[in-house]
Structure 1
Amino acid sequence: MLDLYARTWNGTRLGADEYVISADEKTSIQARCRCHPTLAPGQARAMRVNHAYGRGGALAYLAAYDVHRVRVFGRTEARTGIDPFMNLVTQVMSKEPYASAKRVFWIVDNGSSHRGNQVEIYFSVVQRKVVSPNDFPGLAQVGDRLRAFEDRYNATAQPFQWRFTTSDLDDLLARLDRHTTDHHEESSAALAA
C-alpha cells in the first residue's frame, strides 16, 4: 500500500496509464432535523446547536479517491455490503481513464480500524465540513450536500502529503520487535529470580 502511494509496484514506477484508488464507506450518516434552527457562530458567540431532533433515516456514503489525480467518486446507498461496493467499482471503472487503463489498484480495508487508507482522510474532511452539525430535514438533503461538497472538493483539492514510507514502516517494526524482545527477556529474568 505504501509503495502504491509512492507510485511504485514491485520496485517499478507506475506508468501514466496506471492508477491507485483508495476506497471505503462512511456508514450511518443520519438526517437529523433539529427542533430549532442551528445558529451560526457570531461575534463572541459559539455556534448553537439544539440537541433535540427528529430522526430522518440514515444512509451510507461510499467513496473512491484517486490518490494521485486527487479525484473523488462518491455515491450514497441505503446500506453497505458487497452490492453497494460493486456499484461504486462499476461507477469508477466505467469512466475514463480507468476504463482503458493498463491497471487500476484498489486499496480497501476489510476491518473496522479505518486507518492507513487515504480515503479516510477525505472522510474526516467530510465529517467536519459537511456532516457537522448534523442538521438535515431528510436523506435527500444529506445526499445533495455530499454531492455538492464532492464537486467543490474535486475542483479545488490538492494531493495529501503522505510521508510515511516503507522505510518508516521497516524502522517501526524493528523498534517494536526490539521492544517485544527486551520486554520478554525482562519478564523471563524476573520470573527466574
Structure 2
Amino acid sequence: MDGLTDLPRSGRPRTFTAEQVAEVKALACELPSVSGLPLTRWSYPELAREVTAPGVAEQISAFDGAADPGRRRDQTRAASLLDLSRDPYFAPKAARALDLYARMREDEPLGADDYVLSADEKPGVQARRRVCRPPPPASRRPMRVESEYRRGGTLAYFAAYDVHRAHVIGRCEPTCQCTRRG
C-alpha cells in the first residue's frame, strides 16, 4: 500500500487548511451586501480584506485561489451541498464533511469497505420524446431538431457519487401517478 501514498509535490506548500478554504468560498458565495458592504459583487481586494477582518486567515493574497470570486458557480454548488452559510455552526458542519472526504470519521480512519457517498435527487423531471426523428446533418447544414414532442410523464432522478472510488450511481424512476378523487 506504500505505492498509493502521494509523492512530494513541487511548488509552494499549502498555507490554508481545508476549513479555511471552505470558509473563504462560503463568503465568496454571499453577496457583499450581507456583510454590510455597498458592493454588487466581490473584487479580490475586498474579499481579501473581509476574510482577514473576522480572523478566518491572518493574511491572504488578493490573487489566492481560495479567494476567487470568479468561480462563483462552483462555490455556490459547494455551498449548497455543505450548507456553507455564515451560520455559527459552519465549522463543525464543514469539519465533518471534510473529514469524510479525507477518509476519517471521529478521528478514526475509514476502513477499506467504508463508503462515502454524495447523493441527490431531482424529482419531477419532465420526460419528453421528439415526435419526428431529426434528419442527419449534411454538408454545410447543421443538425436540425424538431420542436414538437410528446410528454412521457414525470421521472425522479436519483444519483450518488462514490467519493473515493470516483463512481457515479444513477437511475430514473417514474413518479407516483396518483388519481385524484372527489
TM-score category, normalised to shorter length: 0.3 to 0.5
> Could you say which structure has the higher helix fraction?
1
Normalised by the length of structure 1, the TM-score is 0.34
Which is greater in Rg? 2
Normalised by the length of structure 2, the TM-score is 0.36
- Greater relative contact order (Cα < 8 A, sep 6+): 1
